[in-house]
Amino acid sequence: MRIVTITGKITYIIGGYALLLVLNVFVFQQFVNATIDVMIVAVLNTAYVLIGVRIFRGADENRQDPRAWWRATARPAAGFWIGAGLAVAAGISLLGALASDPEDSFVPAVAFVVYAVFAAFYLHSSFRLRALDIAP
């Protein structure tokens, strides 16, 4: 299955985050402690983003073959925008972790790590795509 339309991509993104939110509020927070809850959500969010990266395709992109492991978007510009947004989120999370009491800094610290890794992934992908001279 490949998602190639804007509507399909928006539906995947909103639906996935809505499902993750519902699971977090009504299941994870009710049955596990906060540390385990954060780790479960981080793992599920990572899986969700990686699945999206693998099944999303651009209009001019090969739809049969799997993407290269390093490729996150169809064009460099999209990865630069997404990577920049994730870098900002990582910075905000880092500030939150640093400003928190040590016992309250775990959640923003985990968020920082996840956002920073994703930002690096998207930016790395865009630099490689730009080097391949893929149209913006």
Angle, helices 106-131/34-55, rounded to nearest 10 degrees: 10
pLDDT band at 21 (very low <50, low <70, confident <90, very high): very high
Cα 52–chain centre separation: 9
pLDDT band at 98 (very low <50, low <70, confident <90, very high): very high
Domain final position from 20, 49, 67: 67
How many structural domains are present in the chain? 2
89 with 51, same domain: the answer is no
Query: What residues make up the domain containing 105?
Result: 72-136
**Res 80 pLDDT > 90:** yes
- Residue 88: φ, ψ to 5°: -65, -45
81 with 135, same domain: the answer is yes
Q: First and final CA of the chain: distance in angstroms?
A: 25
Collapsing DSSP to helix, strand or coil, 68 comes out as coil
Please state which of the ranges 30-34, 69-73, 92-96 shows the lowest mean pLDDT: 30-34
Domain final position from 12, 41, 67: 67
**Res 134 pLDDT > 70:** no
**Res 23 pLDDT > 70:** yes
77 with 61, same domain: the answer is no
pLDDT of residue 18: 96
Domain final position from 67, 98, 123: 67
Mean pLDDT of 83-92: 97
29 with 55, same domain: the answer is yes
Mean pLDDT of 20-40: 89
State what percent of residues in the chain have pLDDT above 90. 74
Mean pLDDT of 26-40: 88
pTM of the model: 0.89
63 with 104, same domain: the answer is no
61 with 81, same domain: the answer is no
